[in-house]
Amino acid sequence: MTRVALHKYAGEIRFVDLFCGIGGFRFGAEDAFRKNKIKSACVFSSDIDVWAQKSYLANFGERPVGDISQVEAGDIPDHDLLFAGFPCQPFSIIGKSKGFADTRGTLFFDIARILEAKKPAGFILENVKRLVNHDEGKTLRRIIESLENLGYKVEFRVLNALDFGLPQKRERVFIVGWRGGGNFAWPESGQGYRPLDEILEPDADQKYYASEKIRQNRRRLHTSKHSPSIWHENKSGNISSHPYSCALRAGASYNYLLVNGERRLTPVEMLRLQGFPAKFKVVCADTQMRKQAGNAVPVPVVERLTERLLSLIIAKQRWISSQKASGQE
């Protein structure tokens, strides 16, 4: 059974933010809590990147703990929900045995050991789309099995930020788990996305413009049918353009995305493409912000998923309470 009752039964929802980056999960979850008039508290956050810690501190008033693998699960406060955009690592230790022991040596293990120790009511995890087919699907199946062996019902789905109001084609796999019965109602897609006009800054600094040589070469190879547009050059040198952005990537070449084939995205524009609020404080250099935005999780996607998870868990808690009141538990 769940350790702590939620919402009206607990007073507030306590959550942890693992591999937190610059707080995409936290912004999205807190948006969902506020929308549903639920009090909440982030009781623990962790990220090993010192620059991400700096951004998180500036925006939430707390510096995340560093290497989560060095933190004892017992030292993490009790919580109701766990959020984690864990890094995608090769899952080299996958044997025939069952349970989360199969994932020792990977960062997923740190999530599993915390779930085992703290038994929160639910969780939402995020990773790159290629995790679905990694090792012919064996990696994801082992992850799901590990989570189910910890007492959770688990579902996963690949979601695209384009379907959640953001002009960015960003497909990521989300894994949702909860204790007890019921079925998770995945948010419907196809709501449309904000036009680039609402994302792009009207007067970007000249430092963001590509060299004239690069701009001429792009125009020679491609003519866009959209205005405004974001031009994307892939690893083969092929160029395409769309009225939205291709996925932001932390480690991509410097000029792989160019607004109207001319300039790079500004930090503010990258944050907007990920759905971060206007109040977000930019305190790091452009190079770090490019990495941080590229590693972030889209805020509106987290908000919608959190709402659905809350609805499912709270309904279960109300059922448990009614059973207790009637003496049928």
Q: In this predicted structure, what is the pLDDT of residue 97?
A: 41
Q: In this predicted structure, what is the pLDDT of residue 138?
A: 83
Judgement on whether residues 113 and 210 belong to the same structural domain of the protein: no
What DSSP string runs through 7-54? GGGTSSEEEEEET-TTTHHHHHHHHHHHHTT--EEEEEEE-S-HHHHH
Q: What is the dihedral sign for C-alpha 208, 211, 216, 221?
A: negative
For residue 279, is it within any domain?
no
For residue 282, is it within any domain?
no
CATH value at residue 148: 3.40.50.150
For residue 270, is it within any domain?
no
Determine if the peptide bond prior to 228 is cis (ω within 30°): yes
Q: In this predicted structure, what is the pLDDT of residue 255?
A: 85
Q: In this predicted structure, what is the pLDDT of residue 183?
A: 87
Residues 6+ apart with CB under 8 A from 291: 51, 250, 251
Residue 280 has pLDDT above 90, yes or no: yes
Judgement on whether residues 142 and 35 belong to the same structural domain of the protein: yes
Judgement on whether residues 133 and 34 belong to the same structural domain of the protein: yes
Judgement on whether residues 165 and 212 belong to the same structural domain of the protein: no
325 vs 307, residue with greater confidence? 307
User: How many domains does the structure of the chain reveal?
Assistant: 2
Provide mean pLDDT across the span 93-122. 72
Which amino acid is it at 272?
Answer: R
Residue 163 has pLDDT above 80, yes or no: yes
Judgement on whether residues 320 and 178 belong to the same structural domain of the protein: yes
For residue 280, is it within any domain?
no
What gap in Å lies between CA 247 and CA 162, rounded to an integer? 10
For residue 273, is it within any domain?
no
User: Would you name the residues annotated as active-site residues?
Assistant: 88
Q: What is the mean pLDDT of the chain?
A: 87
Domain that residue 224 falls in: 202-265
For residue 271, is it within any domain?
no
For residue 80, is it within any domain?
yes
For residue 284, is it within any domain?
no
Of the candidates 220, 247, 265, which is a domain's last residue?
Answer: 265
Judgement on whether residues 97 and 229 belong to the same structural domain of the protein: no
Please report which confidence band the pLDDT of residue 86 belongs to, taking 50, 70 and 90 as the band edges: confident
Least confident range of 5-9, 109-113, 152-156, 189-193:
5-9
Judgement on whether residues 237 and 120 belong to the same structural domain of the protein: no
Judgement on whether residues 61 and 182 belong to the same structural domain of the protein: yes
pLDDT digits (tens, 9 = 90+) for 137-153: 888 898 999 999 999 99
